[in-house]
A and B are shown apart, each in its own frame.
Chain A
């Protein structure tokens, strides 16, 4: 190493009794440090480059087909005429299913995370089973969720609901918005649970102790002190869940998406159209793929913009919550 030799700065050593001087030799050029920091920079540029290429590709190819007409028209059964087609039902369908999913996944995920963090003993067998279940849930392929939704929600819950309500025609025992949303909720549950747990663990235990020492119950402490602090983290979990779910097609294939609906979905038992599924339809069903390309890219672009818009809204709300928490209580 090239720095001070021991004793070099002591006045006796340098013969100077009135001043202490320190000598540092200039650092020699270290090739390997430079190489590795350059490598990390290159890796970052590489990833950004790929992202930029994908986005630019979509933008350039889809921009020509995007128009106000495109996003606000309910198309006729022929999707492949660029002049008359539209994606409004797909936008509505994707948005609705994401919103309904959020309504289910946030409460269940947060309550599970609260149980795991605040109530469960870390070593008990039940806790370990729950944690294992959450981790494994995160690894299940999306198509399996779709089959689960069909078998459990539609064929079991839905059919029994119809029997209890004495519906002559199948209302709940068939693909529907609610079943697709619930399937997505089950799929994104691990994301919300993990994000909530992390934000709960980040709250210092001193705050909980202070609340309990004042005579609050554990529940009061959680509701009044812990949860408000954890809110930004919970919202992060929600944002991640929404981002993941907006683009998923496999879970909704059997549980609610339709090739064509003449009107917008208005009821939880309605089927719906979907942007991601529509991309699949356009790619595989088109009679003239060259002509369909702009519509395809435009649909993808709309999906990206929708996801982006949903995220921006959530991020803005989260920023406001964070600001409020920081300023005062």
Chain B
């Protein structure tokens, strides 16, 4: 069991100061996004590395969530959206005509700001994704569900109540369940859109520990309003401002010695 991860914490200081721990996995090339006539993203180019936590920071409305949702093509669901440029994951442009969006979303998982467990049991929540992608046998399901709940630091709390409603869990537990649900189908990349913003500090700390664990196995991109959180858990940080990428680099550098004045103003709290 739990061959995925052992719960060891990687201290933030040990994260890289150079921008590459592995090859770039996600390459965002000159991406612009339009909601109708309004331009929400302006010529974003970015390369995100493998098995590293990247944080998108910036004030409200700067486009960080929009860019995040481009990475698993969730913006396809909105009418009137147009995307220029290319986003390559593992070398292939995900906006090509022949890309299977279902397969893409299996490889790129997402956790949302407001936890959204299905109104089913804990077991069925995690089993949903597994069943979608072909895991049918009960023994397989049981094993995979236990693995992902353990990896999300939730197993001990729910192992006696797997078949009771997920809606009876606390906010922090529900969010960890959503994370378990996302990692059960073994994606390569996990996108997190302000996953802890609705949670109290204790639950937030548990989610942050979890992210530090998960990065050994998954590439994580996290959007956060909380700069201290970005500083705590991320290896690389991208700062956005009104649809533009202002600066991108190692978290250490962004928060201690940023190259751009706007970045410095934001991280020191002069605006935002």
Q: With the chains together, A16 CA to B103 CA distance in Å?
A: 71
Q: What is the CB-to-nearest-CB distance from A222 to chain B, in angstroms, rounded to a whole number?
A: 13
- A215-B185 in contact (CB<8A): yes
Q: CB-CB < 8 A to A6: which residues of B?
A: none
The reply to whether A328 and B116 contact each other, CB–CB distance below 8 Å, is no
Stretch from B21-29, B125-133, B253-261 that touches the partner? B125-133
Chain B residues with a Cβ closer than 8 Å to the other chain, count: 32
Which residues on the A side are within 8 Å of B79 (C-beta)? 121
| Contact A213/B106 with A229-B119, A329-B120 known, Cβ cut-off 8 Å | no
CB of A266 within 8 A of chain B? no
Q: Is A220 an interface residue (CB 8 A)?
A: yes
> Is B185's CB under 8 angstroms from A214's CB?
yes
| Partner of B124 from A204, A210, A215, A329 at Cβ < 8 Å | A329
Whether a CB of chain A sits under 8 angstroms from the CB of B118 is yes
Residue B110 interfacial (CB < 8 Å): yes
Query: A325 vs B121: C-alpha distance in the bound complex, in angstroms?
Result: 10
Asked whether A215 lies within 8 Å of B77 as measured between CB atoms, the reply is: no
> Which of A211, A225, A327, A328 has the most CB atoms of chain B within a 10 A radius of its CB?
A328
- Determine if A15 is an interface residue (Cβ-Cβ < 8 Å): no
Q: Do A217 and B119 contact each other (CB < 8 Å), given the known contacts A206-B114, A210-B178, A328-B165?
A: no
B residues within 8 A CB of A211?
A: 118, 128
| A-chain residues with CB within 8 Å of residue B120 when the two chains form the complex | 328-329
Q: List A contacts of B72 (CB < 8 A).
A: 213
**Residue of B102, B116, B165 touching A204 (CB-CB under 8 A):** B116
Residues of B within 8 A of A209 (CB): 74, 77, 112, 116
The answer to whether B121 and A212 have CB atoms under 8 Å apart is no
Give a binary string over B112-150; 1 marks a CB under 8 Å from any A CB, 0 the rest. 101011111100110011001100000000000000000
| A210 near B116: Cβ-Cβ < 8 Å | yes
In this complex, the member of B72, B105, B118, B163 whose beta carbon has the largest number of chain A beta carbons within 10 angstroms is B118
Chain B residues in contact with chain A, CB under 8 A?
Answer: 72, 74, 77, 79, 102-103, 105-106, 109-110, 112, 114, 116-121, 124-125, 128-129, 132-133, 163-166, 178, 181-182, 185
